[in-house]
C-alpha cells in the first residue's frame, strides 16, 4: 500500500511540474507585453520571470521616471542597418531584386547613437502595445540647429496600400519587405546637414487633415508643432544594452504572417510615459559621421 501511495504521489508531482512547464510555454507563445519585456524598476529587485530577463535595457532618459508607466502606452522602435550577406550569416536575409541581379542583405540592429554614413541602407520597425495608427515623419537637421521641412514618409499607398493600423504583437516595417526597394538609402541633401530627425506617432484614431498619398508628403510646421506639444511631454526612452543582432525569423514573419510572442526578440528601444495619454509622439536623431 505504501509503495502504491508513493507511485501515486510521484505521478501527481510529475503532472504538476509538466503542467507548469506547458503553461509557461503557452504564456510565452501567447503573450506579448512590451513593458514586461523591458522590466525596468527603480528598486534593486530582480525580475522573477525568465521572460523578463531576456532583454536588458539601460535608461537613456534618467529624468523621466520608470514608475507607474502605463503599459499600453509603450512603443517599441528598432532601427536596422543593412549589410551584404555572407555565407556564414545565421540571421534572416532580405532579398532584393533589381534590374540586373538579386542581392541578399542582412538587417542588423543599431542604437540611436550609431553614426551613419552616406549610402547606408536603413529600415525601421515599430511595435505598439495597443491598437492604433502609425505615422512617421522625417526632417533634416543642420549644423546651425535649424530643421528642414517635415515630410510624412509613412503611411503611403506604396506600402501596404496605405494601411497604417497597428496592433499588439504586429510589427510595422518601413519600408515593407515587398516594397521596391525595401530600405531607405541615407544621403545628405546639403553639406551642412548633420542628422535625420525621425518622429514616430502612434494614435488611437487617424490624424485629422492627413491624406494618404502615393509618396511622402510635406506637412505644415503648425501641424507637427501641435502634435509634438500635445503628445511628446514626459516621454522616456529605454535602450537595449547590446546592438548588432541580426534580423530573426520571428521578426521577419511578424510583419507578414504571424504575431510576435512573449519569447520573440524585444525592440531595440522602448518609449514610455509615466501616465497614459491619448497618443504618443517620439523623436529620434540619427546623426551622420563627420
pLDDT value of residue 30: 54
Task: Tell me, yes or no, whether 7 and 60 share the same domain.
Answer: no
* Number of neighbouring beta carbons within 10 Å of residue 133: 19
pLDDT value of residue 35: 86
pLDDT value of residue 100: 73
Task: Tell me, yes or no, whether 18 and 84 share the same domain.
Answer: no
Buried b (16+ CB within 10 A) or exposed e, 143-176: eeeeeeebebbbbbebbbeeebebebbbbbbbbb
Task: Tell me, yes or no, whether 79 and 105 share the same domain.
Answer: yes
CA distances for 220 relative to 196, 199, 252, angstroms: 18, 14, 34
Task: Tell me, yes or no, whether 174 and 131 share the same domain.
Answer: yes
Task: Tell me, yes or no, whether 259 and 185 share the same domain.
Answer: yes
Task: Tell me, yes or no, whether 6 and 130 share the same domain.
Answer: no
Which three cell numbers, joined as nine digits, stand for 230? 500635445
Task: Tell me, yes or no, whether 246 and 145 share the same domain.
Answer: yes
Task: Tell me, yes or no, whether 128 and 185 share the same domain.
Answer: yes
Task: Tell me, yes or no, whether 22 and 77 share the same domain.
Answer: no
pLDDT value of residue 257: 83
Task: Tell me, yes or no, whether 205 and 265 share the same domain.
Answer: yes
The rounded distance, in Å, linking the Cα atoms of 87 and 69 is: 43
Report, as ranges of residue numbers, the positions in the chain whose pLDDT lies below 50: 7-8, 11-28, 41-53
61: Cβ–Cβ under 8 A, 6 or more apart, which residues? 235, 236, 237
pLDDT value of residue 37: 73
Work out how many domains the chain is built from and give that number.
2
Structural domain of residue 23, as residue ranges? 1-30
Task: Tell me, yes or no, whether 6 and 124 share the same domain.
Answer: no
This prediction's pTM: 0.84
The rounded distance, in Å, linking the Cα atoms of 74 and 179 is: 27
Task: Tell me, yes or no, whether 14 and 146 share the same domain.
Answer: no
Contact 171, 251 (CB under 8 A): yes
Amino acid at each position: 500500500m505504501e509503495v502504491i501511495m508513493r507511485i501515486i504521489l510521484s505521478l501527481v508531482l510529475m503532472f504538476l511540474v509538466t503542467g507548469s512547464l506547458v503553461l509557461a510555454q503557452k504564456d510565452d507563445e501567447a503573450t506579448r507585453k512590451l513593458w514586461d519585456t523591458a522590466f525596468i524598476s527603480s528598486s534593486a529587485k530582480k525580475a522573477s520571470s525568465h521572460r523578463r530577463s531576456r532583454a536588458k535595457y539601460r535608461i537613456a532618459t534618467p529624468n523621466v521616471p520608470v514608475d507607474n508607466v502605463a503599459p499600453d502606452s509603450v512603443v517599441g522602435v528598432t532601427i536596422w542597418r543593412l549589410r551584404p550577406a555572407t555565407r556564414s550569416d545565421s540571421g534572416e536575409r532580405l532579398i532584393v531584386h533589381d534590374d540586373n541581379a538579386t542581392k541578399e542583405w542582412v538587417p542588423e540592429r543599431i542604437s540611436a547613437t550609431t553614426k551613419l554614413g552616406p549610402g547606408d541602407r536603413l529600415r525601421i520597425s515599430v511595435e505598439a502595445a495597443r491598437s492604433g495608427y502609425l505615422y512617421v515623419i522625417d526632417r533634416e537637421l543642420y549644423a546651425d540647429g535649424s530643421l528642414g521641412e517635415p515630410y510624412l514618409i509613412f503611411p503611403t499607398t506604396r506600402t501596404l496600400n496605405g494601411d497604417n493600423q497597428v496592433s499588439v504583437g504586429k510589427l510595422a516595417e518601413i519600408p515593407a519587405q515587398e516594397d521596391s526597394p525595401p530600405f531607405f538609402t541615407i544621403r545628405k541633401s546639403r553639406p551642412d546637414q548633420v542628422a535625420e530627425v525621425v518622429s514616430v506617432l502612434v494614435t488611437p484614431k487617424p490624424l485629422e487633415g492627413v491624406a494618404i498619398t502615393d509618396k511622402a508628403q510635406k506637412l505644415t510646421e503648425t501641424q507637427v508643432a501641435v502634435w509634438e506639444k500635445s503628445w511628446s511631454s514626459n516621454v522616456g526612452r529605454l535602450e537595449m544594452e547590446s546592438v548588432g543582432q541580426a534580423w530573426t525569423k520571428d521578426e521577419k514573419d511578424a510583419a507578414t504572417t504571424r504575431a510576435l510572442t512573449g519569447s520573440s526578440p524585444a525592440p531595440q528601444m522602448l518609449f514610455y510615459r509615466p501616465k497614459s495619454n491619448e497618443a504618443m509622439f517620439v523623436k529620434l536623431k540619427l546623426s551622420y559621421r563627420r
